[in-house]
Structures are given as C-alpha cells and as structure tokens.
Amino acid sequence: MSPMAPHRRPMVVLISGGGSNLQAIMDAVASDEIPGEIRAVISNRPEAYGLQRAHRAGIPTEIVDERGYPDRRAFDQALRTHIETYRPALVILAGFMLILGEELVVPFEGRMLNIHPSLLPALRGLHTHRRALEAGLRRHGASVHFVSRELDGGPVIIQASVPVEAGDSPDTLAARVLKKEHVIYPLAVRWVCEGRLALQGGRVHLDGIALEGPVQLEDLPAEELRRVSA
C-alpha cells in the first residue's frame, strides 16, 4: 500500500438534497478514515437538508441557486468561482442534481467525483431504481466515477452491487443500494486523499496501476475495508 499523504487534502462537496452521502464522507473525515478537510458544502437549493448536516459539523456552507442567474452559463461561472475560492484538491458531487457544463467540468477534470445509483454504463440518467425493476435486472448497484463532459460517462472507479429481490419496489431497492453508496464513496475519496487514485490519460490508476475495469467492492481485500462496513 502506498504511504498516506502527509497533509489533509482540501475538498468541496456539492449537494442538492438530503446529503446522506455527504454525511458518510463527513463521518469518515471525522474518524480520520479520510485524510481530507471539507472546506465547504455548496448547494443549489436553499432547502437542502444536507446544509443542516454541514452546519452541525461546523463546515461552511454556501447557496448558489441557478434560479438567480440569467442563464446556465452565468450560473456555471458563478459556481466555479465559489468552488475555486476554497482551492480544493477534490470536488465531490453528492446528490447534486444538475448537469454540469464544460465551464465546470473542464477546470476540475481528474479532480471531480460523482456517485451514480446504477452499475454504469447501464442506466445512466434518472430514475435508475424504477428502470432496473422494469428491465427485470437481477443485480443493481452504484458506481463512483470521475466526472467528464458526458453525462454519467466518466471513467468508473469502484462499484458495488446488490441483488434485486422479489417484491422489490423502487424505494426498497434504493435503500439497499444507498447502504453500498455509503461504503464505496468514502472509500474512493480516501484513495484520492491518500494519493493512491488518479485519472491519467483518460484511465483510472490505483496505486500506480491502470485499472482494466472498475474495482468491485466484493473483490477488495479485508485491509481496504478495515474502517468501513459493507
């Protein structure tokens, strides 16, 4: 295993809603599982419950609401300015429900992560749990990926899958997937902050080795999961 980075990597988290993945990452930072510092949580929705989570943790928050700007380009420019104020090494999308334009994606290429509730490249976009049931899939899950200009199309880092059970509704399936999200997202963030994970030449590198495909949670050795619970 590569040595841990000697300093805590600065991070900014973008949210739009409840912030359960934000909470999982905050908890991992607080327990020193992640050698990083969340410098700000930024939401495009003033009512997002995740802002309250950040307040309780003493993390600065900001609201950048796209409804207050004349067009998306102006909003993207404003959001980029707010993010860059904190000089983050990593930008984390944790339920940020807007499609980012090039104004935001390009400057943070290789430094922006997203989590998507499907086993990418399957089921890009919205309503993945309902669509998984409608398609009769036997397994469903979540993927952490680097953000690219293509919606949910960036290089995938790690995935976790769950069985689709008889009698599942979109809500019950979503709840099962969410538990896995709370494991794999902090894990991917930890790898970045430890200096072990990088995007090079459009490919994911972990510990200096280009991955042939996404890491699968169930294939990880026990020491990788020593501080998280699947």
Residues 128, 228: one domain?
yes
Per annotation, catalytic residue among 116, 129, 140, 145: 116
pTM: 0.94
Residues 71, 101: one domain?
yes
Residue 194: predicted pLDDT:
97
Residue 230: predicted pLDDT:
39
Asked if residue 33 lies in contact with residue 2, where contact means CB atoms within 8 angstroms, the answer is: no
Better pLDDT: 84 or 7 = 84
In a domain, 91, yes or no: yes
Q: Domain boundary at 108, 132, 166, which?
A: 108
The total number of structural domains in the chain stands at 2
Better pLDDT: 89 or 6 = 89
Residues 28, 131: one domain?
no
Using CA atoms, how far residue 132 sits from 16, 28, 135, 170, in Å, is: 23, 30, 5, 9
Helix (H, G, I), strand (E, B) or coil at 107: helix
Residues 122, 190: one domain?
yes
Question: Is 116 marked active-site?
Answer: yes
Residues 122, 127, 133, 139: what is their CA dihedral angle, to the nearest 10 degrees? 40
In a domain, 198, yes or no: yes
Name the pLDDT band for 1 (thresholds 50, 70, 90).
very low
Q: Show the tokens assigned to 6.
A: 């000697």
In a domain, 60, yes or no: yes
Residues 175, 103: one domain?
no
Residues 95, 170: one domain?
no
123 sits in the region (left: phi over 0; alpha: psi -120 to 50; else beta) called left
Residues 93, 136: one domain?
no
Residues 120, 222: one domain?
yes
How many whole angstroms separate alpha carbon 183 and alpha carbon 230?
Answer: 6
Four-residue CA torsion sign, 125, 151, 159, 184: negative
| Closest C-alpha to 127, from 93, 168, 162, 173 | 173
In a domain, 229, yes or no: yes
Residues 172, 136: one domain?
yes
- For β-strands 209-210 and 203-206, DSSP reports them as antiparallel
Residues 89, 197: one domain?
no
* pLDDT value at 4 more than 50: no
Q: By residue range, what is the domain housing residue 196?
A: 116-142+153-230
- CATH number, domain of 30, equals 3.40.50.170
Residues 123, 65: one domain?
no
* Ordered strands of the 36-43 beta sheet: 61-63, 36-43, 9-15, 90-93, 112-116, 139-146, 156-163, 215-216
The pLDDT tens digits for 70-79 are 999 999 999 9
In a domain, 4, yes or no: no
Task: Write the CB contacts of 75 (distance below 8 Å, at least 6 apart in sequence).
Answer: 64, 66, 68, 69
In a domain, 147, yes or no: no
Task: Write the CB contacts of 138 (distance below 8 Å, at least 6 apart in sequence).
Answer: 163, 164
In a domain, 148, yes or no: no
